Amino acid sequence: MTDTNATPSPALPADQPLRIVERDGVRYTLLGTAHVSAASVQAVEQAIGSGRFDAVAVELDPQRLQALTDPDAMARLDLVEVIRKGRVALFAANLALAAYQRRLAEQLGIEPGAELKRAVALAQENGLPVHLIDRDVGLTFRRASRQLGFFGKLKLVAGLGAGLFSSEDVGEEEIEKLKQGDMLESSFGEFASESPALYETIIGERDRYMATRLREEHDAGQRNVLAVVGAGHLAGLARYLETDTEAPGPLRSQLEAVPKKRNIPWITLAILAVVLAGIGVGFWKGGLDMGTHMLVIWALYTGGLAGLGALLAGSHPLSILTAIAVAPFKPFRLSIPTGAFAALVETRLRKPAYNDFLQLRDDAQTFKGWYRNRVTRIVLTFMLTNIGSMLGLWLTGFTVYGKLAG
């Protein structure tokens, strides 16, 4: 049963949106908050301070809770593992989110998500169980990217990049939307609302995921549960909490799974086929001189532009040489980007210091900061080297095709 027009008792905030759902003997009080509002912090304090709840659930995952409560956590990050596991793009997306949150904090004078942080702290002080019910940001990002095509991913990256380097204040309209919406949705900007697939993954799926986690955390001794979530999730969360009939365990696994796609780079393979066939025809028709000439073009374009990308990233000379040496061997390692090798060398030679991690959120907001900070410069090395390698591959393909057609 859902009470969509619940009348707040004196123990509950009267000026915050509420939904009350009763299911399986548990009364769930869903408190809708704004992630950038001091009033929401006060509402959380009033609700938990009432003493009427047996447990507190919050719209956080362990990673986001750690970011809120332990600012130094990123300093313990192993960048080598991040690169080896192919998580540089996710790391860059998290930097974009952190930069956006910092802009909001400086502009509004309140840390985004302060009410969630306060809810966890108060629950612990009062000896109440805390349930982290949101899905891991990494899973959400990976599931969202799987829903997008090539150009959609480029637009997404461009939007995140714009958020990283923007120094302008967040507009009033955007702030108002944030008060009724969701931090992740706002971080992706207008693209989230323009892309139905992305919106569903970021908002709709998480509504159902949080409802599933609430049912999964059901405990015989917890009859009154307070769930603190963004106001934009309130209606969907209440609906799924009341109507979902699937068993929570299998449903959660389904919502956490990242659909496996055959990651076959057809365009890259097609260009490689043209290049390799062209080099073969060059040896066959033009002899050793023409075939060797085409090999030199391949090495110069792919290695040269990959090296140029690393140079533009301000990489160490040995990282640049690594990019130049590795790029021409792309046909033998399709699944491993050239930028990964250059970034690994950069990490070994210029290992980030503790202060680089402490300054990461500030440095990620400025162009100069990206080159000053060793962490962000490693990300730049990875990204710009890959862009250069890709351009070199395309340019070689067009050049070889032109020579064969002529």
pLDDT in tens, the chain (406 residues): 555 445 445 556 666 788 999 998 899 999 988 777 778 888 999 999 988 999 999 999 888 888 778 766 666 677 777 777 777 766 776 676 666 666 666 676 777 778 888 999 999 999 999 999 999 877 887 787 776 666 666 666 666 655 555 555 555 555 555 555 555 555 555 555 556 666 677 777 889 999 999 998 877 678 899 999 988 888 889 999 999 989 998 999 988 887 666 555 565 666 666 666 666 666 666 566 666 777 788 889 999 999 999 999 999 999 999 999 999 887 666 668 889 899 999 998 998 887 787 777 777 777 888 899 898 899 899 989 999 998 988 888 777 666 666 5
Contact between residue 50 and residue 11 where contact means Cβ atoms under 8 Å apart: yes
- How many angstroms separate the CA atoms of 165 and 124, rounded? 37
Q: Name the E strands within 51-162.
A: 55-58, 130-132
Indicate if the alpha-carbon torsion angle 182, 188, 190, 195 is positive or negative: negative
> How many residues appear in the chain?
406
What pLDDT, on the 0 to 100 scale, is given for residue 7? Answer: 47
How confident is the model at residue 381, as a pLDDT?
93
* Per-position DSSP letters for 210-228, written without gaps between them: HHHHHHHT--TT--EEEEE
What is the model's pLDDT at position 174?
58
Determine the Cα–Cα distance for residues 406 and 399; give it in Å rounded to an integer: 11
Query: Which ranges of 126-171 does DSSP label H, i.e. alpha helix?
Result: 137-146, 150-165
Q: What is the pLDDT of residue 57?
A: 95
347, 147 contact by CB (below 8 A): no
Judging by DSSP bridges, how do beta strands 55-58 and 224-230 pair with one another? parallel
Residue 239: what pLDDT?
A: 92
Cα gap 396→363, rounded to integer Å: 36
Q: What is the residue extent of each domain of the chain?
A: 2-256, 266-405
> Between 374-405 and 88-108, two packed helices, what is the crossing angle to 10 degrees?
130
**Which residue, 187, 177, 199, is CA-closest to 99?**
187
Burial tier of 378 (Cβ tally within 10 Å: 0-12, 13-18, 19+): buried
Q: Which residues contact 171 (CB under 8 A, 6 or more apart)?
A: none
Element housing 20 (H / E) = strand 18-23
Q: pLDDT value at position 294?
A: 72
Whole-angstrom Cα distance, residue 234 to residue 291? Answer: 65
**Would you state the pLDDT for residue 354?**
73
> Residue 147 burial by CB count (10 A; 0-12/13-18/19+): exposed, middle or buried?
middle
